[in-house]
Amino acid sequence: MQRALQNQQVAVVGLGLTGHSCVRFLLAQGAKVTAFDSRSDLNLTLPESVEVNLGPFDGALLSATSLIILSPGVPLSEPAIQRALAAGVEVIGDVELFARFNHRPVLAVTGSNGKSTVTQLVTAMLEHSGIRAVSGGNIGTPALDLLERDYEVAVLELSSFQLETLSSLSMLAATVLNLSPDHLDRYTDMEAYRQAKLRIYRHAGLLVVNRDDPQTLPDADTDNTQPQISFGLGESTRDIGYQSATGMIRYQNEDLLEFSTCQLVGQHNLLNIQAAAALAFAGGATSQGVVAAARAFTGLPHRCEKVREHKGVVWINDSKGTNIGATEAAIAGLRPMVQGQLLLIAGGDGKGADFSLLQHALKSVDKLICLGKDAEKIAVLKPGALRVASMQAAVAAAASLAGDGDMVLLSPACASLDMFDNYQHRGHVFTDAVEALA
């Protein structure tokens, strides 16, 4: 539903990558744009027509606008935003703005873990089926920038923050891949986080749900008239599943793909492939395209990525493991591949998470090395855990403990901003330290 923005006074709150894409789009629509960011030291290169306000948000200025585009990193609970809402100002996010101007089919992905892998894999499955597909949203290209692209289907990765301000996006299909505690520094509890995720099911033609994770199912007291398809680790004659005896992923009671022929490994990726296939079929993909893409897909950087094998020790970079669920999935997926010991490097900013939930997974870990802001909270869960002050020290400690047949896994279960620029920076520092062992 396209809405005229010509001469409208619109505020963009938050000037990261998403905020800049919003400014560009709004100016192209003829809006009068005012930009806000809480950081006072930004070096910006915005057009002269854009009034920029840095530092604490001015509630009076925001309340005088007709529309606020809120970046995902700024919570709705921000007092200046609440003041604007009370004044009757509409507050939306960039994906909602995309929804109001988009007229082409959309597939959408959310979940605590695996979002980026599934988003890229769905895009590849569509492309291998001869369908022009693009991906964006919370990964890569901001949603608004996709509107300028030539595509038949858009595949959007959506975070819980983006979903909070989304209300009218029509989708062919949508999924909540899994749910585990995350962002509890922003949400009052796990249920509030879950409800933000479940918003993705609104206006979805097909719900792709994880039958092994009941939290991904829509609430029983909501409108459940939308068709569903489930995925999981066991067999299913109606939906998509896995036959362990044959190693086959099966779709609607027929063989689709032998999992061992895929380059992705681990149970978490077995689920990711199934979810991606269900979404891709909803987007018009062929069985041949789904199979070809699944076999060719090598995964994304910093997500259970093999760095190297040195002196019989395999080093794995899972720096994208920024919450407990991601680290649990990495341990469960990789442990069966390790003949010897599994050494885990973990720690960082836990974002208010209850690390006791990690204790069961740590039983599959032989040695634990912790660093970062919440290192002690994780270290106390396993006797003999080491505490170190840097990533270089963590790698050195792991190298001294590991031998032939062992695996060292960096999967922090935490955000990275206490010590690094982002999870990519953390992964690069780890990789550099591993490479330096030679």
- Please say if 253 is a catalytic residue: no
d(CA 127, CA 141): 17
- Residue 42: phi and psi, rounded to 5, are -75, 140
Give the C-alpha distances (Å, rounded to integers) separating 293 from 129, 255, 397.
Answer: 9, 16, 38
Count helices and strands (H / E) in the chain: 15, 20
Catalytic one among 20, 183, 351, 428?
183
Instruction: Choose, from 20, 102, 113, 115, the residue flagged as catalytic.
Output: 115
User: Within 13 Å, how many C-alpha atoms sit on residue 433's CB side?
Assistant: 21
* Burial annotation 408-424 (CB, 10 A radius, 16+ → b, else e): bbbbbbbbbbebbeebe
138 is catalytic: yes
What residues are paired with 36 via a beta bridge? Answer: 13, 53
What Cα–Cα distance (Å) separates residue 343 from each residue in 76, 316, 380?
40, 10, 16
Active-site residue (options: 102, 113, 138, 317): 138
DSSP-derived letter for residue 183 is -
Strand segments (E) across 27-147? 32-37, 51-54, 67-70, 90-92, 106-110, 133-137
The C-alpha atoms of residue 67 and residue 33 are separated, in whole angstroms, by: 10
Structure tokens belonging to residue 188: 């009052």
Amino acid identity for residue 99 in this structure: A
Q: Each residue of 40-55: b (16+ CB within 10 Å) or e? A: eeeeeebeeebeebee
State yes or no: is 115 an active-site residue. Answer: yes
Q: Which residues are catalytic?
A: 115, 138, 183
